[in-house]
Amino acid sequence: MSNEGIIPAGTPEAPPSPAPAGSIVVGHDGSTDADYALTTALGLADQLHAPVVIVRAWSIDTAPKPANWEFGYVSSFAEYSEAVRAAVIEDTAASVHAFPGVSVDYRAVHSGAAKSLIEASREARMLVVGSRGRGNLAGLLLGSVSDQCARLAVCPVLVTRKRPGR
């Protein structure tokens, strides 16, 4: 069943607050390119003794169903956000555990990916993104998330690309 036309109860989240100054922000949408960007960000953070903030942007169409979801019940924005946060924690656990000395925070942001990452990285040391994500036709028409971040973020942006065979 499609979630199209369903408006969750509650109020959408406010724009994301910036990540702590000096942190490394990394976008993670669940793609293999995002996994590579995360590993790169964690490696840099380990060397620089910087915290990492993992950001996942979401919409109703991309969010997993909340734990309390059932047919006929419309979950709140907070419930969807918690489901997305739980998913990003699960999706990134192996990479995060490989860097036990790095402090990690997770953010699920109800907004477009580029906007979420640019806002979250306003005070960051660096923003790390993969060269390709789970984009679609809109990405082709509007420009990729990595391109928008490279053009509009106020901090340095590292766009990672995994080489074949690595």
- Write down the pLDDT at residue 61: 85
Query: What is the number of alpha carbons within 13 Å of residue 40 lying toward its C-beta?
Result: 23
State which residues of the chain have pLDDT below 70.
1-16, 132-143, 165-166
Instruction: Give residue limits of the domains in the chain.
Output: 24-160
CATH topology of domain 24-160: Rossmann fold (3.40.50)
Nearest to 56 by CA among 122, 131, 133: 133
Question: Over the stretch 34-45, which tens digit does the pLDDT of each residue have?
Answer: 999 999 999 999
- Write down the pLDDT at residue 1: 43
Q: How far apart are CA 85 and CA 115, in angstroms?
A: 18
